[in-house]
Structure 1
Amino acid sequence: MKHYTDTFAHDHLPELSAQPGYSFLDLPQFQRPEMLNCVDRLLDQHIREGRGEQPCLHTFETTWTYQELFEKSNQIAQVLVHDLKLQSGNRVLIRSANSPMMVACWFAILKAGGIVVATMPLLRSKELTTIIDCAEISHAFCAADLEEEMHLVKSDNLQSVCYFGNGQLEALMAKYEPVFDNYHTHSESVALIGFTSGTTGLPKMTAHYHRDILNICEAFPAYSLQPTADDIFIGSPPIGFTFGLGGLVLFPLYYGASTFLIEKPSPDLLLQAIQDHKITICFTAPTAWRVITTKVNDYDISSLRKCVSAGETLPLKVWQDWFDVTGLKIIDGIGATEMLHIFISSNETNMKPGATGLPITGYEAKIVDASGTEITDGTPGRLAVRGITGCKYLNRPEKQAEYVQYGWNLTGDVFRKDEDGYYWFVARGDDMIISSGYNIAAIEVESVLIGHEDVAECAVVGLPDDERGMLVCAYIVLNDTTKASDVLKNRIQHWFKEVAAPYKYPRVIHFVEALPKTETGKIQRFKLKNQD
């Protein structure tokens, strides 16, 4: 079956034998036609059914209706095909903070038959170049206020960069009528590629189909949120994260609701928007819920009916403090870029405070030991998941074999299951550092630090922290140990934020004379973790 002219994504999907088993796809809500472009259900259908004048995207400055998003997406799709010469199956990068134009570009790419690669605005040119080269990205849309770093990207793959917010894309859009015939993709055509940090080597690319995008809208939100067209969503995660994509774009539009986008969200801005715009559903990380709890009495949040936490485990104290102040129950959940969105969670009728929850409709889970045998006595083990979505790494068979075993997705998390079937988070199974909802691979931080002129060796670990969940902590061996000082620590931290995404920088630095190693020279990070 030929999906696209450019077959890169499909050519690099894992062999069928290496892909996970799927379940629940026979349920009515998850059945999709063979020919399917997800934009038709998420956006175009609202226009056909007369909801074009309903609000869709809000900011503090403006509101777009469904009709406006539809027309702008159509015009951008015309620009892609006619001006930028997009071929179906080409990968298109988006570099932007959360904004209406970012959403319009996202839909336009799929309308034109492209594959979306949305990124976070904090990424630097080196990281962007790696993404562009790994996915052989040919086109990019970039917000004008982020163009400086984009200009530093050097890649033979990238054919065109089109900027919006400075008039470039807008001038091209103005040439076209706001109509477009969507590309006829298949249900199993790749729609998006999400990059996920790994603990070693290059970042991993996980692919998701048009079918997957619609099916997650029938999973977590139907199970936990029960959205209606009257809901207004808000949240802090970037749309470049699949957590943010689902909570701030896919879910609200699937149900005909609207969403409030904030380019640089903070607890105060979230609360201000909830008060002034009568927000009903909020997605953010435990760190933000902790801060919001201390400020909530200064605002009227009476419109809020659902609170969602993901990105890192939700401490029971954060849940309890919020409940004590507001009477609202935070819905915890665990998801993964590999699975596209949340697969274990709860709703207000079955919530057990402190537990992550139960497998939502569309997924099943179990705890397994190292051999894949199910553990049924409550002992912690590896979390295995299977359902309507699953891991499909592009061009990484060795990583696919690690993540998918015995037909199940192994998330890298250690959980336990209690006698009632509830899943409780225990720990990450690798060296991933989850800080304020960001996934930060230790090896990524180390690879940046080692480029500093004063650094001879380094090792990075995560330290528990009440505010952020974990802190990035670096143990550094200097070329000249006499230079060790607080001034140098600050200088290294400042330098790091100039050359890599600032959220990855080491908030704690220890200068040491040597790193603990095995006889073969492997750094023993567990010894460093035990020092603090």
Structure 2
Amino acid sequence: MHTKLRPSSYEEFQASFSLTIPDKYNFAFDMVDATAAADPARLAMVHVDDADVRREYTFGYFSEQSSRLAGALQSLGIGRGDKVMIILHRRVEFWTVMLALHKLGALGVPSPALLTAKDITYRVNFASIKGAIVDESVRATVEAAKLDCPTLTVQVLAGLEQPEGDWHSFSRIVDDASPVFSRPADAACGEDPATIFFSSGTTGHPKMVLHNFNYPFGHIMTGSYWHDIEPGNLHLTLADTGWAKSTWGKFYGQWLAGGVVFVWDFRGKFEPARLLQVIADHKVTNFCAPPTVYRFLIREDLDAYDLSALRHCTTAGELLNDSVFETWVEKMGMPIYEGYGQTETTLQIATFPFMKPKAGSIGKPCPGWDIRLLDENDEPCPPGVEGEICIGIEPTRPVGLFSCYLQDEAKTASVMNGGYYRTGDKAWMDEDGYFWFLGRIDDLIKSSGYRIGPFEVESALITHPAVVEAAVTGVPDPDRGQAVKASVTLAAGYEPSPELTKELQNHVKKVTAPYKYPRIIDYVKELPKTISGKIKRAEIRARDEA
């Protein structure tokens, strides 16, 4: 297994890091079962439910429970290559299910509880999903979807004590199964298909992103180095299990680094004060959340909580505003380390503990990832010039890069060509080699010869107390080509007015380059978003064009 390096600089890290994947690697057998065999009492998870009840789970527990479930699912007809939708919030059963499917060679399809019946029907039919293992809270939605899903033949409900109709009881089938599930001679491993994530695309239907059995090993970079987990550390990533970010921060890399996964299974609305109390009460040491969460946390009285155990903080998913970064450093005495990746990848670019963080920068390329910024002619971009983030895939692909978009050869070919995987994201690099994210290529605004990234303007706007959220898009303009438009939701106590519009425009001119200010400000009650919370700028553009 990987031995954690202790580099003193980024250059030393790049020069010394290497990743060797064991032959025929299967995370469930080779990490979880192997750990349980050597030290069954080793702590794997601390779980706090919505009623604040704390439970602890060992590797011995996950090894046995996943073996029981693998045997139970096999008896129900789930086997190698079958696809199983998983909707379990942050229940402990999620980890058991993922491990059991790894043992069977079946493909887990983690999905969010916010899906509608129509969403589930589309996904099940598009992917030919055979099984569904879900939380009782989404039972009715799955039942409504199943009417139009002929391939969905196995249904398991977590929270059900006795079988009912077409539903099997999760606890019953696990309790009745054998605690032993021997590794098959031809167990799925290596580049065999393992997991499917439906990406929450901001345009059109979601894509099926296929990862293989080597994918977990790619998260050594995430857990050991970016999250800086040491053996025994208690790591909390806030993500729900319906998204790829949960496997980034609540599973593979954290266990491979020797850490303990901390799970807070809260339901309903996020409450920043309650999160701080949970971190304090349970002595969380490592924490990862999107910038939005940090924006809420710094509004709380941080001195009211004992956060002395917290030693390392990270963020990803959107840009971190300078003001949030600086306030966190001032109040907590530690920086927030940014990172960048996609559903299609593991961590690609990051700021590590042995690097000086720059507020707003996503950091430098991870070792093992050949990251280039390429212009429209596939030429490398010099410092200060924006380009598309591209990943070299020849002669070897980095560990953690997705296999393909399932059942979409044309889409796969459009992003994997010329020796690169083309992310569709824009960035620029400074003279020190730090990358600065600009946004999706389609979201960039071309105005009077300038190219303006929406994040820059949005970040400037939300530093004004009147603005809760902002989405910046380009609208056709006869003189400029495009004009910058901001769709804004206001904080309580503020009302739309020409005076406020002028104030916000002047504010942006002071915070960022004056030419980037929004010439149009549209006040809205809410912004259109995907179910994962990403702003649908394409929908705003479509409305404007209509």
The TM-score range, normalised by the shorter chain, is 0.7 to 0.9
SS in structure 2 of the partner of residue 409 of structure 1: strand
SS in structure 2 of the partner of residue 117 of structure 1: strand
Residue range with higher mean Cα deviation, 146-155 or 85-94: 146-155
Where structure 1 has 5 or more consecutive residues not aligned to the other structure, the ranges are 1-23, 433-461, 476-491, 509-521
TM-score (norm 2): 0.74
Name the counterpart of 1:155. Answer: 149
Alpha-carbon distance in structure 2 between the residues aligned to 1:33 and 1:349: 28
Name the counterpart of 2:390. Answer: 384
Change over 3 Å in CA distance of 1:523–1:142 after alignment to 2: closer
Name the counterpart of 2:47. Answer: 58
Change over 3 Å in CA distance of 1:240–1:112 after alignment to 2: same
Name the counterpart of 1:185. Answer: 188
Alpha-carbon distance in structure 1 between the residues aligned to 2:223 and 2:292: 22
1:119 to 2:119 alignment = no
Residue range with higher mean Cα deviation, 393-402 or 204-213: 393-402
Alpha-carbon distance in structure 2 between the residues aligned to 1:36 and 1:152: 38
Alpha-carbon distance in structure 2 between the residues aligned to 1:78 and 1:354: 48
1:344 to 2:349 alignment = yes
- One of 101, 122, 127 as aligned partner of 1:130: 122
- Deviation of 1:55 (Å): 4.6
Name the counterpart of 1:400. Answer: 412
Alpha-carbon distance in structure 1 between the residues aligned to 2:180 and 2:235: 28
Alpha-carbon distance in structure 1 between the residues aligned to 2:202 and 2:532: 19
Code of the residue aligned with 2:378 in structure 1: it is G
- One of 186, 202, 208 as aligned partner of 2:211: 208
Change over 3 Å in CA distance of 1:220–1:313 after alignment to 2: same
- One of 376, 396, 410 as aligned partner of 2:422: 410
Change over 3 Å in CA distance of 1:267–1:385 after alignment to 2: farther
Alpha-carbon distance in structure 1 between the residues aligned to 2:383 and 2:253: 36
- One of 422, 430, 439 as aligned partner of 1:427: 439
- One of 303, 309, 324 as aligned partner of 2:309: 303
Alpha-carbon distance in structure 2 between the residues aligned to 1:348 and 1:211: 26
- Deviation of 1:402 (Å): 2.7
CA deviation map 1:157-190 (0-9, x unaligned): 2111110112211111111232212341131111
Alpha-carbon distance in structure 2 between the residues aligned to 1:528 and 1:150: 35
Name the counterpart of 2:511. Answer: none
Code of the residue aligned with 2:88 in structure 1: it is S
Higher relative contact order (CA 8 A, sep 6+): 1
- Deviation of 1:134 (Å): 1.7
Name the counterpart of 2:37. Answer: 48
Name the counterpart of 1:176. Answer: 177
Change over 3 Å in CA distance of 1:73–1:493 after alignment to 2: farther
1:68 to 2:68 alignment = no
Name the counterpart of 2:503. Answer: none
- One of 233, 236, 241 as aligned partner of 1:231: 233
Alpha-carbon distance in structure 1 between the residues aligned to 2:431 and 2:17: 30
- One of 75, 79, 94 as aligned partner of 1:102: 94
SS in structure 2 of the partner of residue 367 of structure 1: strand
- One of 273, 280, 283 as aligned partner of 2:278: 273
Code of the residue aligned with 1:88 in structure 2: it is R
SS in structure 1 of the partner of residue 324 of structure 2: helix
Alpha-carbon distance in structure 2 between the residues aligned to 1:136 and 1:207: 14
- One of 290, 295, 303 as aligned partner of 1:290: 295
Percent identical pairs in the alignment equals 25
1:327 to 2:369 alignment = no
- Deviation of 1:410 (Å): 1.7
Contact 2:371 2:391 in 1 (8 A): yes
Map of 1:81-96 to 2, 5 A cutoff?
Answer: 81-82=74-75, 84-96=76-88
Alpha-carbon distance in structure 1 between the residues aligned to 2:468 and 2:128: 35
Runs of 4+ in 1 over 4 A off after TM superposition: 26-29, 462-465, 467-473, 500-506
Alpha-carbon distance in structure 2 between the residues aligned to 1:109 and 1:343: 27
Contact 1:124 1:501 in 2 (8 A): no
SS in structure 2 of the partner of residue 239 of structure 1: coil
1:194 to 2:200 alignment = no
1:374 to 2:380 alignment = yes
Contact 1:93 1:118 in 2 (8 A): yes
Code of the residue aligned with 2:239 in structure 1: it is P
Where structure 2 has 5 or more consecutive residues not aligned to the other structure, the ranges are 1-12, 162-168, 393-397, 445-456, 476-523
Alpha-carbon distance in structure 2 between the residues aligned to 1:253 and 1:403: 32
CA RMSD of aligned residues (A): 3.3
Contact 2:90 2:265 in 1 (8 A): yes
- Deviation of 1:51 (Å): 4.2
Name the counterpart of 1:313. Answer: 319
Alpha-carbon distance in structure 1 between the residues aligned to 2:274 and 2:66: 28
SS in structure 2 of the partner of residue 52 of structure 1: coil
User: What is the number of residues matched between the two proteins?
Assistant: 441
Name the counterpart of 1:246. Answer: 248
Contact 1:343 1:363 in 2 (8 A): yes
CA deviation map 1:32-81 (0-9, x unaligned): 24422121233112112114342524223222222222221111111110
Code of the residue aligned with 1:215 in structure 2: it is G
Name the counterpart of 1:146. Answer: 138
